[in-house]
Amino acid sequence: GENVEQHPSTLSVQEGDSAVIKCTYSDSASNYFPWYKQELGKGPQLIIDIRSNVGEKKDQRIAVTLNKTAKHFSLHITETQPEDSAVYFCAASGGTSYGKLTFGQGTILTVHP
C-alpha cells in the first residue's frame, strides 16, 4: 500500500518568514495530493490540493509543488502569520476514491510574532 513520509515534524519560524514542508510517497499510482491544516480541537481542513497532471499550484500565500518522477511534493507558505500556527498534514490517494487518503505524520508549525 501507499506510504507517505512528512518532514519536518516540527517547524518554528518568525512572522513574515517562509515555511516549507516536504512529503514523499511510495505508490506511483497516486494521483491526488491534498494538504490539510488542523487547529487544536478541530478537524482537519483542506487548504490546497494538487493533481498529478499539474506541477505547481498557488493560492495567495500558499503554494504546492509536485515532482512525480521523484515522488515528492511540498507545501510553501510565504509571509507567515501567527494564525498559520497549526498542524499540517500531507496526504496522497489514487484511483477514483480521492477521499481514501494516506496521511503523513504531520508537521507542527509555530509562527512567532
Partner 1 sequence: GAGVSQSPSNKVTEKGKDVELRCDPISGHTALYWYRQSLGQGLEFLIYFQGNSAPDKSGLPSDRFSAERTGGSVSTLTIQRTQQEDSAVYLCASSLLVGGTGELFFGEGSRLTVL
Q: Contact residues for partner 1 (CB under 8 A)?
A: 4, 6, 32, 34, 36, 41-46, 49, 89, 91, 97-106
Q: Could you tell me the smallest distance in angstroms from the CB atom of residue 42 to partner 1? A: 6
CB nearer to partner 1: give 78 or 98: 98
Q: Could you tell me the smallest distance in angstroms from the CB atom of residue 86 to partner 1? A: 14
Name the helix (H) or strand (E) containing 36.
strand 30-38
Q: Could you tell me the smallest distance in angstroms from the CB atom of residue 107 to partner 1? A: 10
CB nearer to partner 1: give 62 or 98: 98
Q: In the beta sheet, which residues pair with residue 23? A: 6, 73
Joined grid coordinates for residue 33: 495530493
Burial class of residue 34 (count of CB atoms within 10 Å of its CB; 0-12, 13-18, 19+)? buried
User: Do residues 31 and 102 touch, judged by C-beta distance below 8 A?
Assistant: no
